[in-house]
Structure 1
C-alpha cells in the first residue's frame, strides 16, 4: 500500500495521486475420515468377539459365581483372542514397529508392548505355563484402546470439518456466456481465465473474478466470516464459493481453481496445521520420555513384585497395568487437538495462521506497529470538512462540486462524489466539461461557470476569504479544494484519507490491555500526527521509506518490546518479517503474503484483538491439557504399580486402560470447548 508522501493543502488535487494494492490470503485440515471408519469398524467387531472371551474367563466366572467351563473352552478363547490381538491390535502393533524403526518410541509402542505381553503370556498359560491366563484383559484392553482412538480420530475430524467443508463450497458447473451471447452450462474445470460467466440470484459464484456487469448483494460469510452480505457492483472483485443474493451478475474469470482464494486458504491452513508449535514440540519430547519412564517403571514393578513373593502372573499383571496406564496417549493428543480446533476456528473468523510459533507468541505482544494507509485508514479520500462563503448551503455547494467532479476519475473527485451519495444529494445537468492543467476542472451548470480548483488558483486570482479553517486543515495535512462559481468563491472542501471507524476502538482496547499503539508510515508528519491524534496512537514515525521500515521495527524491538507489525504485506514486507509477529491486514482476495505470519481476511484492524485473544485461549487450553495429561501420569504410575495393594486396592490392566481412555476423552472434550471462543 503506498502512503502519501505529501498530502498538503497547497497541492493541486489532480496531481495528488493515490494508489493502493491489496495483498492477500493463502485451507486446511486433515482427512481423518478413513481412520475414523477403520477404528469404528474394528471397535464393534472386537466388541462382539470380546463378549464370549470375557464370559469364558475363569476369573470372570468366579466373580459372577457361575461355572460355565467345558472341555477345550480355553482353546476357543485362545483362538478368539488371537483374532483380537492381530485384527484389533494391528494398528497399535504396526504403530509400535513404525515408532521403533524411527527410533521415536511413544504411545503406540507402549500399547503394542502391553497387549503383546498379555497375549503371549496368556498363550503360554494355555499351553502349560503355570499361571492364570488374562485373555479377557487383553480383549478389553484392545477394545478400550480402539474406543479411545475412535473418539480421538472423530474429535480431530470434527475439528477440521469447518475447513474440509470449504472445498464443497465451489459449484461443479458454471453458466458460461459464449461469444454470441449464448449461455451454456459447463464444468468449472473447463473454464479458462477471461471467460464470462452469468451468475443468477441464489447461485454460487464459480471462481474468483471481477464483475463486468450488474449489481448485487454477495454473501461471503463462509469465506471471510463477514456476516452481512456485501454490496458488489461493476469492477468489484468476487470470491469463488460466495453466494449471489439478489441481482444477476456477469463475471470475468480471473483465477482458476488452483489459484483461487478458497484453495489458497485450504493450502495455507493445511501448512499451518502441519507446522509444529513450540508447545507441541514440548509434548512430543514429553511423550518420548514417558515411554522410557513407563518401560523402566514396568520392569521395576515386575521385579519388586517378584521379590516380595508374588507370582509371575501377578507380577506381569502389575507390569502390564503400569505400561498401559502410563501410556502418553492423552499427552500426545493435548497439543494437536487444540491446534486443530484453533486453526479451524481462526479460519472461520477470517484469521489465517501461516506460522504457529508466531501465533502463539502474539499473546505476549507489548506493542503493535500500524502502517497507516489501508490499515488504520481506508486508503481513499473522504470529505472531512465543508465551509461555505456565501448564502449557499453545504448540500447545494456539494451538489455543484460533485456534478463537476462526476466526469473525473481522480481520487479526490471520488471522495466528493461519495460524500454527495452519502447525503443523498441530486446532481445537476452539466455541459462543457474541461480539465484545467495544474488548476482543476470546470463545467457549465445552469449557464454558470463552475470550477473546482486548487488553493494555488485562488491565491493567483487574489480571491479573499476567511482562511482560519483553511490554515487549520492545512496544518492537519488535509487536501483542500475550492468551489468557484462565476469567478466568485462559493466554498471550500477539505478531504483526507478516511480513518476506519474501528480504528479508534481498536486502539482503546489495546490500551486496556497495556499494549502500546504505534504508527509507522511513509506519509508526511502532519498527516500522520492528525490521524494519530484522532485515534489515540502513542508513538508516530512518519516519512519513513519502505526500505527503512524494517530498521525502525528493529529499533523498537531493541527497547525490549515484543512487537507485532501490521501492514499490507507488500511495501511492508521487510517490516512484517522483522517483527516478532507479522500481521497482514486488508488482504482482499490475493493471498501472496509470504512475509506475514498471520493474515486478516477483512480490512478491520479490530480483528487484531481477535488474534491476541485466540492466541491466549489456545495457549491456556494447551497448558490445561498438558497439566492434566502429565499430572494424571504422576498419579497413575504408583497406583498401577500397586503401592495401595496392602490396602486391597489393585488395578487390573483393563481398569488401567479405562482410566487412560478417560484421560484421553477429557483432553479431547477440553480442546473442543475452544469452539466457544467468540471474536471481540
Structure 2
C-alpha cells in the first residue's frame, strides 16, 4: 500500500541544483510523515475505545447498557474528531486521487468513512431510524492508520539521487588570473576560465588541459578500471579525480553543460519515465472502489423498486458501502511488507522501492556492470614472467619494493601478491614517480624501475613479444621490471573476478534468466572477464547515456530488465531499468538511484532478490484473497440477496467477519518467515 508520495523525483537537473541547500529536506519530510501517522493512530485509538462503548449496536451485541445525558452528542463529537483528524490523510488522498482520476486505496477508504460518518450523523440527530456506524468508522480509520504507519516505518524514503549527484561536484575551484590563483565558487566559473587542479583534487568543470601531465581516475564516471593518462590537449571530466601531477585546464563546460550534469539529467528523465505501476493492494482497492459504488447504488435502487421505504434502502446501501472497504485490506500488504523487509535485512538486502521490488519476480534479463560488481574493483597479479636468470619471487620482490611507496591501484595488487607469498623486500631509496613512465627507486644500490610497455619500446629493450601479446589480448595490464636498465621480467595484472559472480551467472542461466555485461571499460578487459564468468552477451566502452539506451533496447524486446551496478556511470541505467539493484560498496549516487541495495556487495544476493520478491508477492496475493473473501461473502448478504428467506446481514455480524479476516491476514503474513 505504497503512498503516492513514496517515490517523488525532481524533474530537472536545474531543480536539483536549486534544491541543493535542501538536500536533507526529503528525508526529514519522510520521517515527519511517519511521526504524523503514528500520532494520528494513537489519538484515534484512544478516542475509538469510548466510541465503541457508546455505540448502541456494540451495547446491543455485547449485552450491556451505557447511557447518560448527552451520550449521543458526546459520541458525535468523539466520532467527528476521529473522522476529521484521524481520517484527514485519507480524505486528502481521496481528493488527490479524484483530481488524477485514478481511484485507489485512498478513495476507497475516504468513501467508506464519509458514507459512515454522514449517515451516522443523520441517525444521531433523528433524521432516520437504525443504528449509527460511528464504531465502524473509528475502527476502520484506526486500522488503516496502523497499516500505513507499519508500512512507512518498514521502507525507506524517496530517492535522493539527484542531490547525491550534485554533491559530487566540488564547490570551490582555483581560478588563475595571470600568475595569481584565487578560490572562487564553481558556480562563478565561465567558459574559457583557466583553472588549476592540484594532485588529489576533484576536477570541478569539464575542460581541456593547457599545461601538465598526470593520471586521472575516471572509474566511477566512465567505468574505465585503470587511471587514464592525461597530457596537454586532452579533455578532463568534472567529478573525476586528479591523481599525480598538477594541471591547468581551460573550462569548456560549466553547470548544466558538464558531463556530470548530463548524467543528472539522464537519471531525472529515466526516473520520470519509469512506469509508476500501482502496487498490488492499490490495484485491489481501485477495483473495490468501483464495486462499492456500483453495489451501493444497485442495492438502493433494488430495495426502492421492491417497495421498501427510502430509509430502509438507504440503510442497506450504507451497510454495503461501509463494509465494502475491508479492514483486512489495510493490513494485507503492510504486514507482509514488514515481515519481508525484516527478512531482506537479514539477507543483506535494503528495499528502497516496494513497487519495483514486487516487479523483481518477473525479471528475465539481468544486466551487470563489470568494475566493482562482477569484479572486485581491485587489481591482482595474474601472471609472472621472469627473464632468466631471475625467478618469480625475485621479480615480485623487486617490483613490490618500489611499489611500497606508491598509492597506484596496480601497486596495491603487486604488494598483495608479495604478501600472499610472504616475501621480504628491502627498503627503497630515492623513490620517484614519473608520469607516463612509471616508478623508480634504489634497492641494494641498484636502480629498479616498474615501467609501462611504451617506455620499454622507447628504450628498445627486447621482450618476449609473443607472451606480451597473449597477455594484452586477454585484457590484462602488463608492467615491466628493470634493474639498472636490464629487463627482470613482466607482471600481468587484472581486475579480479568475484568468485561468487561465477555461481550467480550459472544459477541465473539455470533459471532461464539472461545475464548481460554492460561496461565502460575496454573491450579486451570486458571479454576476458565475460569468458571467466560464462557471460555470452557483452557491451563494452559504453558511456552512461548508451547504458540507459541499451537498457531501453532490451526492454523494447519485451523483457523485464534488472540492472546491477555501483558507479556514477550506472545511475541512468539503474533508474531506467525495471528494477535497479546497487552494490552497497558503490557510490552514493548508485545506491540512491537504485530500488534495491545489496548491502553485502555480493552479486549472488541478486538470487535472494528474485526469490524473496516471488515469495512476498505470493503471500500478498493470498492475503488479498483473504481480505477480498470477506467482501465476496459480506457484500451480497449486506445488500439483502437472501432477505426473501429471512437472512439479512446485520452490521454486527459484518464486524465479526471483518475481524476474522483481519486475524487470518495477520497470521498468514507471519508464515512468510517459514
* TM-score category of the 2 structures, normalised to the smaller one: 0.5 to 0.7
- TM alignment of 1:372-411, pairs within 5 A: 372-390=370-388, 394-411=392-409
- Per the TM alignment, residue 533 of structure 1 is displaced from its structure 2 partner at its CA by 0.7
Q: Residues 286 and 484 of structure 1: is their aligned pair in 2 closer, same or farther, counting only changes over 3 Å?
A: same
Partner residue of 1:84? 75
Partner residue of 1:535? 533
Number of residues of Structure 1 aligned to a counterpart in Structure 2: 519
- Give TM-score scaled by structure 2 length: 0.64
Deviations 1:288-307 (A, max 9, x none): 31331342254246447755
Q: Residues 328 and 289 of structure 1: is their aligned pair in 2 closer, same or farther, counting only changes over 3 Å?
A: farther
SS at match of 2:588: coil
Q: Residues 111 and 463 of structure 1: is their aligned pair in 2 closer, same or farther, counting only changes over 3 Å?
A: closer
Q: Is the 8 A contact 2:116 2:137 kept in 1?
A: no
Q: In structure 2, how many angstroms separate the alpha carbons of the residues matched to 1:116 and 1:453?
A: 84
Q: In structure 1, how many angstroms separate the alpha carbons of the residues matched to 2:435 and 2:618?
A: 62
Partner residue of 1:113? 115
Q: Residues 645 and 555 of structure 1: is their aligned pair in 2 closer, same or farther, counting only changes over 3 Å?
A: closer
Q: Is the 8 A contact 1:375 1:585 kept in 2?
A: yes
| Residue 35 in structure 1 maps to residue 40 in structure 2 | yes
Deviations 1:407-426 (A, max 9, x none): 22322222212333344443
- Per the TM alignment, residue 462 of structure 1 is displaced from its structure 2 partner at its CA by 7.2
Alpha-carbon RMSD: 4.5
- Per the TM alignment, residue 530 of structure 1 is displaced from its structure 2 partner at its CA by 0.7
Partner residue of 1:255? none
Deviations 1:527-570 (A, max 9, x none): 11110011111211223344443444444344333333333453
Q: Residues 89 and 291 of structure 1: is their aligned pair in 2 closer, same or farther, counting only changes over 3 Å?
A: farther
SS at match of 2:521: coil
SS at match of 1:517: strand
SS at match of 1:537: coil
Q: Is the 8 A contact 2:564 2:582 kept in 1?
A: yes
| Residue 567 in structure 1 maps to residue 565 in structure 2 | yes
- Per the TM alignment, residue 633 of structure 1 is displaced from its structure 2 partner at its CA by 1.4
Choose which of 147, 153, 156 in structure 1 pairs with 2:145.
153
Partner residue of 2:513? 515
Deviations 1:354-408 (A, max 9, x none): 6665444433222222222222223332212234445765445423221111122
Larger C-alpha radius of gyration, 1 or 2? Answer: 1
Whose relative contact order is higher, 1 or 2, with alpha carbons under 8 Å and at least 6 apart?
1
Q: Residues 623 and 517 of structure 1: is their aligned pair in 2 closer, same or farther, counting only changes over 3 Å?
A: same
Unaligned runs of 5+ in 2: 1-22, 158-271
Q: Residues 39 and 545 of structure 1: is their aligned pair in 2 closer, same or farther, counting only changes over 3 Å?
A: closer
- TM alignment of 1:83-482, pairs within 5 A: 83-88=74-79, 90-92=81-83, 95=87, 106-114=108-116, 117=119, 120-121=122-123, 124=126, 134=131, 138=132, 142-143=134-135, 146-147=138-139, 149-161=141-153, 277-279=278-280, 281-300=282-301, 302-303=303-304, 321-331=319-329, 334-335=332-333, 358-390=356-388, 394-435=392-433, 439-455=437-453, 469-482=467-480
Q: Residues 494 and 589 of structure 1: is their aligned pair in 2 closer, same or farther, counting only changes over 3 Å?
A: closer
Q: In structure 2, how many angstroms separate the alpha carbons of the residues matched to 1:37 and 1:579?
A: 40
- Per the TM alignment, residue 316 of structure 1 is displaced from its structure 2 partner at its CA by 6.9
Deviations 1:79-101 (A, max 9, x none): 43442343146434774976887
Deviations 1:442-463 (A, max 9, x none): 3333344433334456667777
Q: In structure 1, how many angstroms separate the alpha carbons of the residues matched to 2:57 and 2:404?
A: 86
Unaligned runs of 5+ in 1: 1-23, 166-270
Q: In structure 1, how many angstroms separate the alpha carbons of the residues matched to 2:47 and 2:371?
A: 58
Q: Residues 107 and 281 of structure 1: is their aligned pair in 2 closer, same or farther, counting only changes over 3 Å?
A: closer
